[in-house]
Structure 1
Amino acid sequence: MLKDFITKEEVIQITKDLVSIEGHKDIEVKESKVAQYIQELLKKEKIENDVDIIEENRPNVYGKIQGEDDEIELMFNGHLDTIPGFNMDYEAFEPFIKDGKLYGRGSADMKGGIAAMISALIAMKRSNASLKKTVMFAGVIDEEESSKGTERLIKKGIIPKMAVIGEPTELNISIAHKGMEWIEITFKGRSSHGSRPKEGINAIYAASEFNRLVYEEFSEKLENRTFDLLGHGTVNVGVIRGGDDPNIIPDKCSVRIDRRWLPNETLESVHGELEELAKRAVDKIGGKYEIRALREFTASMINTPHSIDRDHRLVKEALESTEKFTGDKKEPVAFPAWSDAALLSNNGDTEAIILGPGNINQAHANDEFCDTEEIYQAAEIYFDLIEKICK
């Protein structure tokens, strides 16, 4: 068991060390200092390690315990980056513990999970166990932006058969989440003077008609289309921009949409359904439209949905291990956000779950914290999974 090879104090200290290292898009060093700390720790524990520099100051960091089989059977995947500290209730990168909770930026999202993963590998290495299957830790960059770190794994063929993503789930086993597609539809009309509106084509009216169709028809349609645990997909008109002055008929208006889609939907249908609404709007008002995915803001490999069969071995083993160390009977749940599990499962045929310490509601919060007992239990669960799947 984990406790035979690493103490709770060590696990929590690793978490505190990680939280104290600032690493995000708004500083010059990005995630490099976080990766450096992890690599030095892995070296100290004589765990095979490597860094993979993707961009300046943006390296993935890897740790591996080789089994008899060269293929990676199990990967623990966690993102090194956090969001900036912003206006937190305390110093963002000066972690402290109060009432059994570790406070600091990234404690829940997801340095508590990373610390538990690294601790499980350290304990396994210290045990001197011989593994039949290879286990790997991948600390990846950029998940808070475009997931370049996990995309790098896929591009280099570093693809496991099974993976655990350490996002905060309160140690529940999440087996599915929605995809996220951002779409911009630009309506184009014809400008004229505001005193002669009939001589122009008002692009804002076309956009307004489109928004009406989304609100009155399409949202209800989505509510009748469901998937196990996830419920229904959603659509949100989040941005609308158009016009210059009140006395000019606007010839351009753009609408930006967040569309959360299900594993039983396709990317083609996601775009196709919205394009049909746009066509109906210009048929009524006039003008033209253009539709495009806002790829500059999302993963280049697409923020697809994710799901794994609830009867898959990884799910069953994780449920058993979690019950063993928490004492709670668990059932599979949905993950409310997006995760790198989707990239691995849709581009690498990896079977993945999301399982980590902390509450997703604390991610990005001004009082972000993670329960220290959950962090240690996560390490116990991860260690147990290595034993059952790789040993």
Structure 2
Amino acid sequence: MTSLLADLVAIPSVNPMGRAVSGPEYYEGRVSTFLEAWFLEAGIPVVRQQAAPGRSNLLARYTAPDPAAPTLLFDAHQDTVPVDGMTIPPFEPRVEGGRLYGRGACDVKGGMAAMLMAFRRLWVERPERSASVVLACTVDEEYTHIGSSLLAQTEKDVTLAIVAEPTKLDVVPWHKGSVRWKVKTGGVACHSSTPHLGSNAIYRMAEVVGAMAEHADDLAHATPHPKLGSPTMSVGRIQGGQSVNIVPDECEIEIDRRLIPGETPDAAVERVRRFVAQRCGLEGVTFLPAWTRMPALETAIGPWMDPLAEAVAAAVGRRPELVGVPYGTDAGPLGEAGIPAIVFGPGDIAQAHTKDEWIELEQVALASEAYYRIALALA
């Protein structure tokens, strides 16, 4: 399993996150090719499900001996965040002190390696009693979730989806969603020595940002979700102007709004728009269409929970806690499509996306045993 994880980390699969970049380190193509060969070498049929040009989910299916067995969906994403600011070689996996270091080790190639090994074990051993399992290696989890959104449309007959993310081997039935969009302000450019002849788009944006800060404070005091707390909002990026001696005629910000169950992306954006309109008006202000829409997750606990928790306990030595987390995952689109989904995997989210990303190899091994036992327990 360590060798497999090292191979996965050594192959760049960086999501450019909307940036206009190119090169072999970007997108999931090389990892998809590796995974396809890995499945075929093990004698496991695998199919590509194109989510975008050059970007495909990989699907492998294990059919249990009992035709009445339920079907589980295992999901792990192929992409990673960029490597800017990393202090270790991102694609030179290193094992030290029981940890494997490298970009994606924690988020989420450790979980992927665990799922792959559990799936291959099912394929080889073919236990008399188990669930059927669809293993999906999806694309674009880190940006717009096109892979899981496509998967949610095509995999309908699923009893439970288990999404690999670093949860410290606890079970996550609830997580926040997100919507992200841009707002632009326009002005009139002129020489900075005569600013009264123009209209400063940055000054206009300052009014908008002030209103948004007030709205963000209101959200922080809104009625909280019992497991996830209150919704949040943050202005995370601003740019504008051409030169210090030119009054700027354009300014742009990017907003991240975290959703709790019951909120929709469109309604959240409209609520912000109305608030800004009330505080400072919308003249010269343009709300651009959202480019990320991640649903929140709220999975009703079903009869599968007790056998799942017992299977995890047998694998890792303790019963998992049920926790809510503030970040989004592939489970969001799956849950929105009506598929019961939980998040479960090795590693700690505190190590994800970091300058020296790592994962404890013991947790990867325990997760693989847990995934295998879950497939047996939910038969």
TM-score by length of 2: 0.86
Q: Does 1:376 align with 2:365?
A: yes
Is the 2:219–2:232 Cα contact (8 Å) retained in structure 1? no
1:338-377 mapped onto 2 (5 Å cutoff): 338-346=328-336, 348-377=337-366
Q: 1:5: which partner in 2?
A: none
Change in Cα spacing, 1:255 to 1:112, as seen in structure 2 (3 Å) is closer
How much has 1:55 moved relative to structure 2? 4.6
1:219 to 2:232 alignment: no
CA distance in 2, matches of 1:350, 1:335: 19
Change (3 A) 1:46 1:131: farther
Select between 197-206 and 55-64 the one with higher mean Cα deviation. Answer: 197-206
Instruction: Encode CA deviations 1:260-283: one digit per residue, 9 max, x unaligned.
Output: 111122323311221112212444
Query: Match of 2:321?
Result: 331
1:128 equivalent in structure 2: 126
Closer/same/farther in 2, CA of residues 69 and 275 from structure 1, 3 Å limit: farther
TM-aligned CA distance change 1:293 to 1:161, over 3 Å = farther
Query: In the aligned structure 2, how far is the partner of 1:251 from the partner of 1:94?
Result: 45
Tell me the secondary structure at the aligned position of residue 40 of structure 2: helix
Select which of 4, 9, 23 maps to 1:14. 4
The farther-off stretch of 170-179 and 263-272 is 263-272
Instruction: Please name the residue that 2:24 is paired with.
Output: 28
Q: Does structure 2 retain, via aligned residues, the 8 Å contact 1:191–1:250?
A: yes
Aligned residue for 2:297?
306
Aligned counterpart in structure 2 of residue 264 of structure 1, from 262, 265, 270: 262
Of 276, 282, 287, the residue aligned with 2:283 is: 287
Rounded to whole Å, the distance in 1 between the matches of 2:52 and 2:115 is 24
* Contact 1:305–1:342 (Cα < 8 Å) also in 2: yes
What is the 5 A alignment of 1:64-213? Answer: 64-67=61-64, 68-69=66-67, 73-86=71-84, 88-130=86-128, 133-157=131-155, 160-188=158-186, 202-213=200-211
- 1:103-148 CA-to-partner distances (Å, cap 9, x unmatched) read 2222111111111111111111222224574211001122223223
User: More displaced, 248-257 or 157-166?
Assistant: 248-257
Provide closer, same or farther for how the CA distance between residues 246 and 345 of structure 1 changes in structure 2, counting only shifts above 3 A. same
Q: Answer yes or no: is the 8 Å Cα contact 1:319–1:330 preserved in 2.
A: yes
Contact 2:100 2:360 in 1 (8 A): yes
SS at match of 1:231: coil
- Taking the aligned partners of 2:284 and 2:85, their CA distance within structure 1 comes to 43
Quote the Cα distance in structure 1 between the aligned partners of 2:359 and 2:116: 17
Change (3 A) 1:287 1:327: same
- CA distance in structure 2 between the aligned counterparts of 1:35 and 1:273, rounded to whole angstroms: 40
The answer to whether the 8 Å contact 1:325/1:377 transfers is yes
Counterpart of 1:378 in 2: which secondary structure?
Answer: helix
Name the stretch that deviates more: 267-276 or 378-387: 267-276
Kindly indicate whether residue 49 of structure 2 is the aligned counterpart of residue 47 of structure 1.
no
Structure 1 residues without counterparts, runs of 5 or longer? 1-10
The whole-number CA distance in structure 2 between the counterparts of 1:159 and 1:27 is 38
CA contact (8 A) 2:70 2:378 kept: no
* In 2, Cα distance between equivalents of 1:352 and 1:320: 18
Contact 1:184 1:293 in 2 (8 A): yes
Give TM-score scaled by structure 1 length.
0.83
Q: How many residues align?
A: 371
Give 1:247 shift. Answer: 7.3
2:131/2:376 contact within 8 Å kept: no
More displaced 10-residue stretch of structure 1: 146-155 or 176-185: 146-155
Deviation readout 1:160-190 (Å, 9 max, x if unpaired) = 3311111111111112111111122233456
Partner Cα separation in structure 2 for residue 179 and residue 15 of structure 1: 29
Q: Counterparts of 2:244 and 2:93 in 1: how far apart (Å)?
A: 52
Percent pairwise identity:
28
Q: CA 1:155–1:312 in structure 2 vs 1: closer, same or farther (change >3 Å)?
A: closer
Give the AA of the match of 1:350: I
CA deviations over 1:352-383 (Å, ceiling 9, x no partner): 11111111121122221111111111011101
Where structure 2 has 5 or more consecutive residues not aligned to the other structure, the ranges are 16-21
